[in-house]
Structure 1
């Protein structure tokens, strides 16, 4: 018994530095990808979405309490913890060295900043509409750059994963909305699923427009060779792992946020103080 205990302790001591190194690599990847600043932008998007929800669900009511609740739901620390925790789980067995090498390079950092700045710019509806018009013009003109954007989108399955994520979030919102019977939202689970699926064509169309216009704008400063280099990385085993980790991390975050928004909306509709 004594020898087994000693062996276990030796194994534990041996593995702890390895775990620390792996987590250090993971944190370095999150830093290189600017996950924190991206979540800050998503919080700004969420606060705007909260106002849109209020206009649809309870127009004409004072929104101070509702906005305070929405702000609390979009808590930066909690959002960051959910995303990075899920990503760490998905990437636990992935070799992070190729990802760190790429995203810490000049090109990698340029891409990350271009994506982040485009997301910030899209907070302005006028910018988003202009990007959409530019994307449509490029598609109609059969611009080779649009073909490359399309290849990037299709190879990384960006439309389908975004559509699934949006539908999961919508369903979670309905579950939250049904949490308070006094709110008068009495759809069954089957009715909720039916309603969510009925939204699929609109969600898909808006997703296609958003993804293509966003990528067209974000990657405009890149040469075709640079964008192809990035595409090649995303198609490696490590790149695919990263894409999956990002989608699962942000899906977990948005599902939780959506359900919390539904609960808050049900309370507000039932006349409770938030």
Structure 2
């Protein structure tokens, strides 16, 4: 009996450790650390724009130190990990590991990250948007695949919703920091007024990004990705990733709003 109880005890203790190890493997397979690095680079670029537009370029070392803290790699990574842990069951993790460890999955992650990094260059982003506009409404196979992929994963609506939520949090941070005197209703009205512009811009960026990313991808790999994305396990991963990154962007946006307000305090605005 003692041996049985000991074995059961070890099994119970090992289960969380095994789950944590599998999640670490999934994070590695999805190359989340690379994605977070790209997000951080994008954030630093955006912070420079905010410094010029809202702080008259006078943010200096104090502003940069705040931005560096806001885009903390460990915090961002942990938020994504928590979303995956909460949103995925064992079957979901198994399916994700199987697909993204395959040749197709590895190639897809490589292409997506390379395209995301490349599009930090405004000229590359413009070229990607132009590619979408040139193919929009056509029967081009790649365009059709990308359009279907966006539809299956509800990518446009999710990204529009995320962008609006981030904008709300940024304005809320500004107001809470007394950079503006906008009420809750005024902030909401301002965000909703931007919806159509956000949708149009997001549609161009998203299509351009995916067209650029998947251009080199063999058709059979794209079809395999589509097949995985349509499974319950693929949908669960998509939802969990969106939940994680939306949480990240909400928190970052609010923190940036507060930081702008803090840095502008006492200056003539």
- Structure 1 length-normalised TM: 0.91
Partner of 1:139: 136
Partner of 1:251: 246
CA shift in 2, pair 1:202/1:8, >3 Å? farther
Partner of 1:91: 88
Question: Which residue of 194, 198, 201 corresponds with 1:199?
Answer: 194
CA shift in 2, pair 1:134/1:180, >3 Å? closer
Distance in 1 between residues matched to 2:112 and 2:229, nearest whole Å:
15
Query: Which runs of structure 2 are paired with 1:162-201 in the superposition (5 Å)?
Result: 162-181=159-178, 183=179, 185-201=180-196
After TM superposition, the structure 1 stretch with the greater mean CA deviation from structure 2, 18-27 or 232-241, is 18-27
Distance in 1 between residues matched to 2:8 and 2:192, nearest whole Å:
51
Q: Cα RMSD (Å) of the superposition?
A: 1.9
Question: Which residue of 16, 23, 26 corresponds with 2:13?
Answer: 16
SS in 2 for 1:96: helix
CA shift in 2, pair 1:172/1:10, >3 Å? farther
CA shift in 2, pair 1:149/1:252, >3 Å? same
- Structure 2 length-normalised TM: 0.92
Q: How many pairs were matched up? A: 264
Query: Which runs of structure 2 are paired with 1:1-274 in the superposition (5 Å)?
Result: 13-92=10-89, 94-139=91-136, 141-181=138-178, 183=179, 185-271=180-266
Distance in 1 between residues matched to 2:242 and 2:176, nearest whole Å:
27
Structure 2: where are the runs of 5+ without partners? none
Please tell me whether the aligned partners of residues 170 and 257 of structure 2 are also in contact (alpha carbons under 8 angstroms).
Answer: yes
Distance in 1 between residues matched to 2:88 and 2:115, nearest whole Å:
26
Please tell me whether the aligned partners of residues 132 and 207 of structure 2 are also in contact (alpha carbons under 8 angstroms).
Answer: yes
